[in-house]
A and B are shown apart, each in its own frame.
Chain A
């Protein structure tokens, strides 16, 4: 039993590391203020769950999860292209609220607040990934590949342009670079991987509902990115480990579940506030959150 629990934690860490790093690519490297990132995670989860329920093979559904999320990533950048600062942030937040609201109300598709139960375990050309050990190895491999790809992107000349966009967009434009395209590509890539993470999550948890992808998740990955350090890859991975682990320690305090829930949320909120007030650069961060 204890191995299953440890594997459960490790699986969550692997999935969230993809999610958190994808967020860092957009927020930390490209400077894209986006509080709606959880919508991409949710889109990926719902896409993958619905497609596999309709009989589509997992591999296809998995890729589609990323692609659909990526399309919405582009849409978000396009819609908010004229906005700056807190207006931009709020529009992205509004975007995720629209998503949650649609998932809640499109009952014929998503079963609304009832959610989607019984999401099948991934079936890859006949190999069914079941059991925590198999699932952990599975997500670990996928996470390694995804993180490697994202690492290649941010440490390439393209990644350098993203950082320049974050630091001084106008300065980059007068050097002849199309920053809208850069931002669109960054957000699309970021959303794609968030969508993949969402798919992995859905097939692991096997039940999702609109409440899963609410504002709390944003506080979580925001905290991860900040605690690890904005624009720091290893920071996001370390941050994921810390922030997934932390509330699990609460379990050992044998408190009732009706207290555990709000306590977990409060923990994240306090961590985030503490970071903003006392250590906004986090552990490994070089860059200030603007």
Chain B
């Protein structure tokens, strides 16, 4: 019983991280209609900027975190403006954009490695974490914060998408690009904002991972695979769906290693991804647009 609870808690923690990655990815996908796999690198960028400002330069934590989010958001918009937009202007297909995003992912990951080295780094805000006992399962205060912050963010995101003008514009573009521009919505500005916000979400993920675990140059690849899988499970065109899907993935992964050796965690994520792509690519909550043409 305690084991089940532990796995559930671990699943929720992992799920929170994946959901932060997946929500940004899904936001960008639904607004721009292509897969920005370099989003994983954005998470890494977030983690490393925080590391630089807080651990290396010694600036105060919350100021560092705030600046990290701003820089990460701008980074995301930069990728859009310098790579994706020029390609879109050349009428590049979604497949080409996807390939470009993979190249970007590798480029950024290796740049990080060149600058910071390949060894794992930790951010060291909270040095030793003692787990609190929760009905027989252990959970640290930081982990509680991770789950809590994530849930708050997702609720805020949901409200933003439903109530604010920008949020509605994004959903309009996601729903029907042509109609949205006819109605006068500036597509490029909406795209800019989708990249900014999506990347900020990635930045939050990077910060939390940096605090809870550690950062390393290739962390983006593993994270985008999880985030993408979560988004596919929930429905890649639905941001709330991506969040739910990610929590589900976190839980499946952690229940899965009850039966399998823990090294199989990666394999579980890939298998879930493959199964959904083959049998239910629209996910649990997504729309059918754009899958089988």
Query: Are chains A and B touching in the complex at the 8 Å CB cutoff?
Result: yes
The answer to whether B96 touches A276, judged by C-beta atoms less than 8 angstroms apart, is: yes
If the complex has contacts A105-B264, A276-B87, are A222 and B35 also in contact, measured as CB distance less than 8 A? no
Question: How would residues 135 to 172 of chain A score, 1 for a CB under 8 Å from any chain B CB and 0 otherwise?
Answer: 00000000000000000000000000000000000000
Q: Which residue, B93, B99, B100, has most C-beta atoms of chain A within 10 A?
A: B99
Docked pose: A112 CA to B264 CA in angstroms: 11
Cα separation A215 to B95 with both chains bound (whole Å): 16
Chain B CB within 10 Å — which of A90, A95, A98, A101 has the most?
Answer: A90
Residues in B with CB closer than 8 Å to A262 are 110-111, 113-114, 217
Count B interface residues, CB 8 Å. Answer: 45
Does B252 touch A at the CB level, under 8 Å? no
B270 CB contacts on chain A under 8 angstroms: 94, 97-98, 101
Tally chain A residues at the interface, Cβ within 8 Å. 43
A56 at the interface (CB under 8 A from B): no
The chain B residue sitting closest to A80, CB to CB, is B278
Is B56 part of the contact surface with A, judged by Cβ < 8 Å?
A: no
Q: How far is the CB of A239 from chain B (nearest CB, A)?
A: 16
Contact of B263 among A82, A105, A216 (CB under 8 A): A105
Query: What are 26 A-to-B residue pairs whose CB atoms are below 8 Å?
Result: A79-B278, A83-B291, A84-B291, A85-B94, A85-B95, A85-B293, A86-B35, A86-B94, A87-B277, A87-B281, A89-B98, A95-B274, A97-B266, A97-B270, A104-B263, A104-B266, A215-B102, A258-B118, A262-B113, A266-B107, A272-B103, A273-B83, A276-B87, A277-B100, A290-B93, A290-B95
Residues on A lying within 8 angstroms of B by beta carbon are 33, 35, 79-80, 82-87, 89-91, 94-95, 97-98, 101-102, 104-105, 112, 215-216, 218-219, 222, 258-259, 262-263, 265-266, 268-270, 272-273, 276-277, 280, 289-290
Q: Which residues of B contact A (CB under 8 A)?
A: 34-35, 83, 86-87, 90, 92-96, 98-100, 102-104, 106-107, 110-111, 113-114, 117-118, 217, 221, 225, 228, 261, 263-264, 266-267, 270-271, 273-274, 277-278, 281, 290-293
